[in-house]
Amino acid sequence: MNKNTKLMIGAAIACLALIILVSFTLAYSGRDVTLLKDRTLHMSVNGYQIEIPLDKDGQTYDVPCLTTESDNIFVLLEDAGADIKVEGTTLKTGRKAKVGISGISANNTLSVTVTSSKDTRTIYLRTYSSLLPKVRATGQSAADGHYYVTEADKPVLYKMDKNGNITYYVALSGDANKGKVFTDFQKHVLENGTVRYSYNVTYPDLDKLGISDYYPGMRVVLDENMEEIANKAGGITRYNKDEAIVAKNPGDPVDGHGFIMLADDHYLTESYSTEKVTNVPAGLAPASDGATVAAAVIQEVNGSKVSFQWKSTDYPELYAMSTAGNNYSSADIQDYLHINAMVLDPNDKNLIVSFKNANAIVEISRTDGKILWVLGGNQDQFGLSDDQKFSGQSDVEIASDGSLVITQSDRILVMKLDETNKKVSAFNAYPTGASLGKYGSAQLVSADKKVIGMGAGVSGAQTGISEKNFTDNKTGLVVTYPNGVAIYRAKWSDTTGEK
């Protein structure tokens, strides 16, 4: 072998060594060689972020949101420098991975394996979050449908099937969620048949105007798959009625008691506005410089503008209807009506609104805002008998036959109205058996069998949801909470439009 050949071979070997060195350098440059025990997984589950420390093997953690009704979407938010699998499904940074679960229960966990070149970790995710209340369910609901439940003092909401099984939930730590609370979780079937869901997020730093059960915040809307519909302002609020709505600019807070959705860009909210008014009748002894009141405001948004707005202070006849919060001479804010529910009249599509502090339910025209009729209270137009009168009602719903379902703490009233002749054409009252409290609610789960589903809004109550057939006095689904609960309404809805 001559000298030139040896030089060429040596040069080739050197080049090969250099290539191998560069390849290894490129392959490992920037790679995290931190031991797993010093790492934290950053991922999201159904849009909610979660951090999982890997310091100990075999640990179990909560998941903020899970469902059995569709695949759960897991996304690895940061490269962990390891192979990660959830129930055998590989997670890749920034990509969606679908994980289905068979049930949400204390006995069911999801395994997460994290494998690096150095070691392996296996951790577990509870399907039944420790932030959810302990629940016992007996019996079965009288009809196919679900209960939509929020707790009165926590960022917790869930959906229950006819057997009392949770099929979807969001359960967040109050500290991590900065004191926010969820209220009024409900299902909407839009005018085109599309299904939407919504709930209110209450912010603790917003002024409650001295009203104990006022929940100011934003309305969040979810699509048919329970995925949040993007809103640049974070949620639906009350807007300036004289200006076009700018999506990224939040308005004033809306109340967590009522929300009506007709289309994705067509909905109605309820809220409060503090006002100094001078139109309180003199016979009610208002302050000489005006009374300070919490005006009830109903706003309808259609497209990019406010199409209708109604404000209670524009109707001075309502001041005299008040039975509480009506010291019009006081400098304190007077919650003289306390709006706490609204629905649409199925016949004429006008608003039916509950005013708790007037012991009355009124119908309001969505065209010109006029008060079309008053049911109950000191200005009742339907001639209610003593047995038909109600007070301090916490909710009003419309049954499938058009009857009003009015919730009091101790009984449920079902009334069919003859609106033309201002008469009650049919009436029944059903005892609740136990106080439903100020956040109680009720619906006719089965109108023909007179099955009523009731949700208790009493702090510490053990029976949170109960169905009773008032035809044969048999009970259906009963959901109890051994450690007590304060439910902010349990809304029943059938399965219309669901997959």
Residues 116 and 183 in one domain: no
Residues 313-357 pLDDT 10s: 999 999 999 999 999 999 999 999 999 999 999 999 999 999 999
**What's residue 477's pLDDT?**
96
Q: Tokens 């931190």 label which residue?
A: 34
Domain C-terminal end among 126, 154, 184: 126
Residues 316 and 225 in one domain: yes
Residues 83 and 149 in one domain: no
- Is residue 313 situated within a structural domain? yes
- Is residue 23 situated within a structural domain? no
Residues 474-492 pLDDT 10s: 999 999 999 888 889 999 9
Q: Is the pLDDT of residue 24 over 70?
A: no
Residues 89 and 194 in one domain: no
Domain C-terminal end among 72, 107, 126: 126
Per the structure, the complete domain to which residue 471 belongs is given by 136-494
- Is residue 29 situated within a structural domain? no
- Is residue 131 situated within a structural domain? no
**What's residue 308's pLDDT?**
97
- Is residue 12 situated within a structural domain? no
- Is residue 421 situated within a structural domain? yes
Q: Which residue has the higher pLDDT, 18 or 109?
A: 109
Residues 452 and 358 in one domain: yes
Residues 237-295 pLDDT 10s: 999 998 988 878 889 999 999 999 999 999 999 999 999 999 999 999 999 999 999 99
- Is residue 186 situated within a structural domain? yes
**What's residue 97's pLDDT?**
97
What would the mean pLDDT of 362-375 be, rounded to a whole number?
Answer: 98
Count of the separate structural domains present in the chain = 2
Residues 434-475 pLDDT 10s: 889 889 999 999 877 788 899 887 777 789 999 999 999 899
Residues 173 and 212 in one domain: yes
Residues 163 and 88 in one domain: no
Confidence of residue 232 (pLDDT cuts 50, 70, 90): confident
Residues 117 and 175 in one domain: no
- Is residue 391 situated within a structural domain? yes
Residues 111 and 175 in one domain: no
Domain C-terminal end among 126, 151, 174: 126
Residues 113 and 196 in one domain: no
